[in-house]
Amino acid sequence: MADENETYPVNLSIDYPEKADRLTTFFRIFTVIPIAIILLLLLGFEHDPD
């Protein structure tokens, strides 16, 4: 067992990104739409009108 006085040998430091720009956040939807269309085509989306 580890000694209680022993410190953990790894320190993690994460630099957070700057505040997200509203314009780039808005345009993310335009990257999601083509990905969703391709996924629907690959998964064989069927439209049943009945």
Taking only the tens place, the pLDDT of each residue in 25-42 is 788 888 899 999 999 888
- Is pLDDT above 60 for 1? no
Three-state SS at 23: helix
pLDDT recorded at residue 40: 87
pLDDT recorded at residue 35: 92
- Give the whole-number percent of the chain exceeding pLDDT 90: 10
**pTM across the whole model:** 0.44
The candidate with the shortest Cα–Cα distance to 29, out of 40, 37, 17, is: 37
Query: If residue 35 lies in a helix (H) or strand (E), which one and from where to where?
Result: helix 22-43
